Structure 1
């Protein structure tokens, strides 16, 4: 077999294996991964890369290595769920950077956390005045959690003793011009109801609809391809 075809085959195999092992290890988004997760993904990525182009090493050796890494990481993750001590070192622990409007410089220095980056993170949370912050906590995944002081938090209906209706999740009714029949059955709706609702909006062909969803208050949201 020509070497180019061998490399193509090994590359496809590497991608498939990397996808499978990654799905086994975590279902979190990249933004939610801990340092240990990143290390595991980087190791698997390196092995997959070598599997693709290092034709001198047998494929089975890479499969064994990737499987072993996956098992070790999976076992460590399982044990960390049972042990707070181990979880502290594998996933890290939250660290307070701001307390009652005061910056804790020593904690920032531990993570080489600059003032510029701190202000950037606060602005992303719509906070522009540090004195309004009750707590700012640096999470193990690198994100900053911010709690404002009680007098600086936005008012909620509960603060004003206003009763509100319980809200649920909107249900997809149409996707890419096709009715999702299973969702209709769950909500005791018919295709005739869908066509009638579209007709009232002046939509003659369901293929014009890119997306439609039914909210919990009974309102139908419709997005057309050409709107």
Structure 2
């Protein structure tokens, strides 16, 4: 077997194995980079890279390494599920960095968290005055959670005693890329005739529609291929 063909096969196999293991590890690995997730991602990447193009290593040995890594990962995940102490050791604890408008410098130093980064995270959450913050907590995945003081929080309908219509479900995708989502219609007991009637009211055909979704408030949103804009913005 030539090196060229071997690299193609190894790379394809590495990609397939990486996808399988990532699926088995679950969405948490993608959404939350804890200490353990960070180490796992680096290790998984290194093993995959060697399997893909390092022909000096036997593929069988690298597959064995994949198997050992997968077993260790599942074992640690199981122990973390059963033990709170293990979870704290592997993932760490959330850290309070602002309390009642006061920055907790000692906690920030322990986490090597700078004021510049703190201000950036606050601005991303539309907080430009630290005095507005009741608590700011640095989560185990590195994100900052902010709870404003009551007087600075957004007013809700409940605060104003305004009646609201209950929402019992999520929005339902009815058409995507000019094709009816038959499964969604069936699961939500929506008939094709109702959908076609709604399209007819708008002088549309299914092929004209890019995206159609029925909101939780029963409002039907439809976007067509022809947006009919005078000067559409088309910039990278």
Q: TM-score scaled by structure 1?
A: 0.95
- Secondary structure of the corresponding residue to residue 28 of structure 2: coil
- 1:185 and 1:57 mapped to 2: Cα distance? 52
- 1:186 and 1:115 mapped to 2: Cα distance? 50
**What does the per-residue CA deviation read over 1:14-46, in whole Å, with 9 as the maximum and x for residues that have no partner?**
111111111111313634221211111110110
**What does the per-residue CA deviation read over 1:98-141, in whole Å, with 9 as the maximum and x for residues that have no partner?**
00000000111112111111001001111111001000000010
- Secondary structure of the corresponding residue to residue 157 of structure 1: coil
- 2:25 and 2:15 mapped to 1: Cα distance? 15
Change (3 A) 1:31 1:119: farther
Following TM superposition, by how much is the alpha carbon of 1:202 offset from its aligned partner in structure 2, in angstroms? 2.0
1:166 corresponding residue in structure 2: 166
RMSD: 1.3
1:93 corresponding residue in structure 2: 93
Change (3 A) 1:80 1:142: same
1:197 and 2:176 correspond: no
- 1:29 and 1:67 mapped to 2: Cα distance? 18
Greater alpha carbon shift after TM alignment, 12-21 vs 49-58:
49-58
1:38 corresponding residue in structure 2: 38
Question: Retained in 1: the 8 A contact 2:29–2:37?
Answer: no
Aligned pairs for 1:136-215 within 5 A:
136-167=136-167, 168-203=169-204, 205-215=205-215
2:26 corresponding residue in structure 1: 26
**What does the per-residue CA deviation read over 1:129-186, in whole Å, with 9 as the maximum and x for residues that have no partner?**
1001000000010000000011111111111222211123111111111111222223
1:120 corresponding residue in structure 2: 120
- 2:190 and 2:207 mapped to 1: Cα distance? 19
Structure 2: tracts of 5 or more residues without a match = 228-236
